[in-house]
Amino acid sequence: MGFKKKFAIASLFLATIVNLNNQSKANSLKNIDGKGTETLYVFLNNSYSWKDSKGNKYVIKKEDCECSISTSSIQRIGINLSPGKKPRNIVRNSYSAYCYLKGTQFTTTGFKYVFNKGTYCNEDNRLCRAVKKFGLIKKYQREADRLNSEENDRQRAFWNETKQNDDLYRELRVRKKLCNNASGDSASLNNNECVFYQMLRRDISNKGYSLPPY
C-alpha cells in the first residue's frame, strides 16, 4: 500500500473520531427544560451558561452572585383584655433565603446585555440551579429554617402567655361582679367570691401584670 493511500485512510479515520467526540460532547449538553423545549447548558468552573430555544446564550459567574436572608412581616391587631383595652399589636416574621444574580445575555444577532435577577429558590429554574451549583444558597436556607423555627417558638410562647393573661382578667371581672351582688341568702357565698377576688388581684399583681380599675 502506497504512502498516499495510507495517509488518506488515516485522515478519514481521524475525522471520524473527531466527529464522534464532538457529537458525544453535544449530547452531554442537551437538556429538556420544563416547557419541553430543547436547550443547552453547561457548568464551567465558576460559571453557569445555557441557551434558550431561540439560541440566545446566558452566562452567570459565581463572583456576580450573592445570597442573604430576606425577612417579611405580617401585622395583625387583636383584642386586648388587659387594663386600658388598647388593641394588641401582633407581628409575625417569616424568613427566606434570597439570591441576587448578575449575568450576561448574548443574542443571536450579536448583541450583549447585562441582566440582574433574583430567586428565592422555591422552584426549579436556571437561577436556582446556578446558585445551588455554586454552593451559595444552602447555608442561608439552613439559617432561614433556624430563624423560622425560633419564630414559631416565640409565637407559641406569646399566645400561651396571652391566653393566660386574658383568662385571669376575665375571671377577675366575673368574681368582682359576684362580689358586688351580695344580698339575702347568697350573701355568704358572695362574700367568699369577694375573698377570691382579692386573692386573684394579689396573684395578678405578683405576676407583674397591671391591675384593672375594677
Q: Identify whether residues 185 and 174 lie together within a single domain.
A: yes
List C-alpha distances in Å: 155 to 94, 148, 150, 158, 161. 12, 10, 9, 5, 10
pLDDT value of residue 186 = 56
The per-residue pLDDT of the chain, averaged, comes to 75
Does 179 fall in a domain?
Answer: yes
Whether residue 25 has pLDDT greater than 50? no
**Centroid of chain to Cα 7:** 64
Whether residue 92 has pLDDT greater than 70? yes
Q: How much of the chain, in percent, has pLDDT values that exceed 90?
A: 39
Q: Are 40 and 29 in contact (CB under 8 A)?
A: yes
Q: What are the tens digits of pLDDT across the range 141-166?
A: 999 999 999 999 999 998 888 888 88
Q: Identify whether residues 143 and 171 lie together within a single domain.
A: yes
Which residues, 6 or more positions from 11, have their beta carbon under 8 angstroms from its beta carbon? none
Q: Identify whether residues 93 and 164 lie together within a single domain.
A: yes
Does 143 fall in a domain?
Answer: yes
What's the pTM? 0.59
Q: Identify whether residues 61 and 162 lie together within a single domain.
A: yes
Q: How many domains does the chain have?
A: 2
Range of the domain at 15: 1-32
Does 197 fall in a domain?
Answer: yes
Does 141 fall in a domain?
Answer: yes
Q: How much of the chain, in percent, has pLDDT values that exceed 70?
A: 69
Does 213 fall in a domain?
Answer: no
pLDDT value of residue 40 = 41
Which residues, 6 or more positions from 145, have their beta carbon under 8 angstroms from its beta carbon? none
**How many other C-beta atoms are found inside a 10 Å radius of the C-beta of residue 101?**
24
pLDDT value of residue 201 = 87
Does 79 fall in a domain?
Answer: yes
pLDDT (mean) for 127-142? 92
pLDDT value of residue 108 = 94
